[in-house]
Chain A
Amino acid sequence: MESLLQSLLGDNLLTLVLYCALPLVFLLLYALLAILGEVKISAFMQDRLGPMRTGPWGIIQPLADVLKLLQKEDITPKDADKFLFNLAPYLSFMAAYAAFAVIPFSSQYVGADLNLGAFYLLAIGSLNVAAIMMAGWASHNKYSLYGAMRSVAQIVSYEVPAAMMLVIVVLFVGSLNFQDIITAQSGPFWNWMVFGGPKADVELASGEILGASWINLIFLPLFLASFVMYYITGLAETNRTPFDIPEAESELVSGYHTEYSGMKFAMFFMSEYANMFLVSAVTAILFFGGWNSPFGVYLGDMFDAQWLVALEQFGWLVFKGLFFVFVIIWLRWTLPRLRVDQLMYMCWKVLIPFSFGIALIVGFLVVVLK
């Protein structure tokens, strides 16, 4: 992908910038789709029609929403800390976008093929916490501050089990690189982590051989449990229902972005949606084969077209990611909100002990079986 851009535009700074901006294009399109999905899916679940007037079947509604946000007056509250108030939305989106650097969209495209991908992803998430805190404090509003406090406490707590889930997969594959984790699951869908990982030896992207056999089926219950737990922590980290305590509109207006309007609100909105896709994509990468086709074959291979294979891989990752985004939206209209103490109980007394237990068992099995 990088070489393609280089051949088109030459080896200069512009190429580099364009290469880094590609996920942004995807994100903008995805956000439009997600806005439409949110209103339409919620409408169907409540036996309504949802927006029907803008365009046929209401499909241009997100565009209208974006236009509305663009035209809105940019208000900064008089008592707010102006500098931090204006900085926070950008920092928030920056943090969300920075994490996309290590998401491999296909075997040919990954922003930065870091050896430390998984570790980097965990670390960069903490930047978002700082942004939320900044927004909550700078707004000079009690609802914003409470929302920010709740949000930060929640994200910081749920980072621990999320990290353990990543460690479980990393232990099994023996690499922190997401491309390695994905290539370890290549082949038909029963090689995905959620089904116990590869059943025969595979060559990782880094060239190392990962020994595997049908014995890996004993990992199936462990990985299945860790997938469910990772998804739960993901819901909590993106502040989505049933963990939307920081935004709890019936208690806190809308949490840390109560005072934001117009484009600055849109930035927070974008970063929330970007984080939703991020969690979904990482779930797909860790447990559902990432960009691997579930059938183990690509149409592009039949026609001997490498570009088609890359496109198909992109399609599969986006499909899996969007599916998990759909489940997030689905859950929002299914489950009631948890209380703060229930949320903390869930994290510290259920998820963390179980995640440490699974990590120990997986570590033990990996050592014994190899």
Chain B
Amino acid sequence: MEMTILFYVFAALTVVSAFVVVFARSLIYSAFSLLFTFMGVAGLYVLLSADFIAVAQIMVYIGGILILLVFGVMLTRQATDVEISASTLRIVPASAIVWLTLATLILVFYRTQWTEVRVLPSIEGTTMELGELLMTTYVLPFEVAGILLLVTVMGAALIARRQEVSTDV
């Protein structure tokens, strides 16, 4: 009973704030609204007994991506004050893509064999199993993802340092 109520609370939080992200006229409102979307999704993960994923969601998305996003918006002077135009451009390709995505999603929704998630009496830790799986069965994808991130970081550093500035710290 409480679980159902909590589910609807988190679902509503996610959907409503996601709408604000898309429709807000100020970029900064979109960015801060994203905070609540991520929180709602983290709540949904908890209800699915995926505790590690939920905390990782807060850590990575709120602690990393969102902060970076807001920082970027704040540092670009115009973005904070100038209202971004929400006018429609290229209606034909846009609507084609949207309808196609929607159709695919609906198809996936009806084709999937949904299994009911059993609500565990107490949330058991998933951390140990996840860690073991990442280090054994899925070690290759894990390492590849790590290398990808490393390349990204190095690329970002390279782009940021393009103009030779020699400042001694």
List chain A positions with a Cβ less than 8 A from chain B.
Answer: 81, 84, 114-116, 119-120, 122-127, 129-130, 133-134, 137, 145, 149, 152, 156, 159, 176, 341, 344-345
Asked whether, in the complex, the Cβ of B59 is within 8 Å of the Cβ of A116, the reply is no
A115-B127, A129-B67 as given contacts; A123 in contact with B32, CB under 8 Å: no
On chain A, the residues within 8 Å of B32 by CB distance are 84, 130, 134
On chain A, the residues within 8 Å of B124 by CB distance are 115
Asked whether, in the complex, the Cβ of B66 is within 8 Å of the Cβ of A130, the reply is yes
B41 close to chain A: CB less than 8 A: no
CB-based closest 6 A-B pairs: A126-B63, A115-B125, A123-B59, A123-B58, A123-B55, A126-B62
Asked whether, in the complex, the Cβ of A137 is within 8 Å of the Cβ of B127, the reply is no
Asked whether, in the complex, the Cβ of A129 is within 8 Å of the Cβ of B63, the reply is yes
In Å, the complex CA distance between A115 and B127 comes to 8
Neighbour of B127 across the interface among A116, A124, A133, CB < 8 A:
A116
The secondary structure that dominates the B interface is helix
B35 close to chain A: CB less than 8 A: yes
Q: How far is the CB of A51 from chain B (nearest CB, A)?
A: 39
Per-residue A-contact encoding for B32-60, CB less than 8 Å = 1, 0 else: 10010000000000000001100110110
Asked whether, in the complex, the Cβ of A341 is within 8 Å of the Cβ of B52, the reply is no
B74 close to chain A: CB less than 8 A: yes
Asked whether, in the complex, the Cβ of B58 is within 8 Å of the Cβ of A126, the reply is yes
Known: A116-B51, A123-B56, A125-B63. 4 other contacts (CB 8 A): A119-B55, A130-B35, A134-B32, A156-B67
B18 close to chain A: CB less than 8 A: no
In Å, the complex CA distance between A129 and B169 comes to 26
In Å, the complex CA distance between A208 and B58 comes to 29
On chain B, the residues within 8 Å of A123 by CB distance are 55-56, 58-59, 62-63
On chain B, the residues within 8 Å of A133 by CB distance are 67, 70-71, 74
Interface centre among A125, A129, A133, A152 (most CB of B within 10 A): A133
For the A-B complex, the count of residue pairs with Cβ-Cβ distances under 8 Å equals 68
On chain B, the residues within 8 Å of A134 by CB distance are 32
Asked whether, in the complex, the Cβ of A115 is within 8 Å of the Cβ of B55, the reply is no
19 contacts between A and B (CB under 8 A): A84-B32, A114-B51, A115-B123, A119-B52, A119-B56, A123-B55, A123-B56, A123-B59, A124-B58, A125-B63, A127-B58, A127-B62, A129-B63, A130-B66, A133-B67, A134-B32, A137-B28, A152-B67, A156-B63
Neighbour of A130 across the interface among B52, B56, B70, B123, CB < 8 A:
B70
B30 close to chain A: CB less than 8 A: no
Asked whether, in the complex, the Cβ of B59 is within 8 Å of the Cβ of A126, the reply is yes
Q: How far is the CB of A158 from chain B (nearest CB, A)?
A: 13
Q: How far is the CB of B126 from chain A (nearest CB, A)?
A: 8
On chain A, the residues within 8 Å of B169 by CB distance are 341, 344-345
Asked whether, in the complex, the Cβ of B55 is within 8 Å of the Cβ of A130, the reply is no
On chain B, the residues within 8 Å of A84 by CB distance are 28-29, 32
Q: How far is the CB of B80 from chain A (nearest CB, A)?
A: 7
Asked whether, in the complex, the Cβ of A116 is within 8 Å of the Cβ of B71, the reply is no
Asked whether, in the complex, the Cβ of B59 is within 8 Å of the Cβ of A122, the reply is yes
In Å, the complex CA distance between A120 and B59 comes to 8
Q: How far is the CB of A167 from chain B (nearest CB, A)?
A: 13
On chain B, the residues within 8 Å of A130 by CB distance are 32, 35, 62, 66-67, 70
Asked whether, in the complex, the Cβ of A145 is within 8 Å of the Cβ of B70, the reply is no
In Å, the complex CA distance between A268 and B69 comes to 23
Q: How far is the CB of B68 from chain A (nearest CB, A)?
A: 9
In Å, the complex CA distance between A119 and B32 comes to 23
Neighbour of A120 across the interface among B35, B55, B64, CB < 8 A:
B55
Neighbour of B74 across the interface among A81, A119, A137, CB < 8 A:
A137
In Å, the complex CA distance between A186 and B80 comes to 53
Asked whether, in the complex, the Cβ of A116 is within 8 Å of the Cβ of B55, the reply is yes
Q: B residues 1-44 with Cβ under 8 Å of A?
A: 28-29, 32, 35
In Å, the complex CA distance between A122 and B56 comes to 10
On chain A, the residues within 8 Å of B63 by CB distance are 122-123, 125-126, 129, 156, 159
In Å, the complex CA distance between A228 and B32 comes to 35
Per-residue A-contact encoding for B99-120, CB less than 8 Å = 1, 0 else: 0000000000000000000000
Q: How far is the CB of A40 from chain B (nearest CB, A)?
A: 36
On chain B, the residues within 8 Å of A156 by CB distance are 63, 67
On chain A, the residues within 8 Å of B74 by CB distance are 133, 137, 145, 149
On chain B, the residues within 8 Å of A125 by CB distance are 63
Asked whether, in the complex, the Cβ of B127 is within 8 Å of the Cβ of A176, the reply is yes
On chain B, the residues within 8 Å of A119 by CB distance are 52, 55-56, 59, 127
On chain A, the residues within 8 Å of B80 by CB distance are 137
Q: How far is the CB of A124 from chain B (nearest CB, A)?
A: 7
A137-B80, A176-B127 as given contacts; A116 in contact with B67, CB under 8 Å: no
On chain A, the residues within 8 Å of B64 by CB distance are 126
In Å, the complex CA distance between A367 and B58 comes to 30
Q: How far is the CB of A170 from chain B (nearest CB, A)?
A: 10
In Å, the complex CA distance between A27 and B51 comes to 27
On chain B, the residues within 8 Å of A127 by CB distance are 58, 62
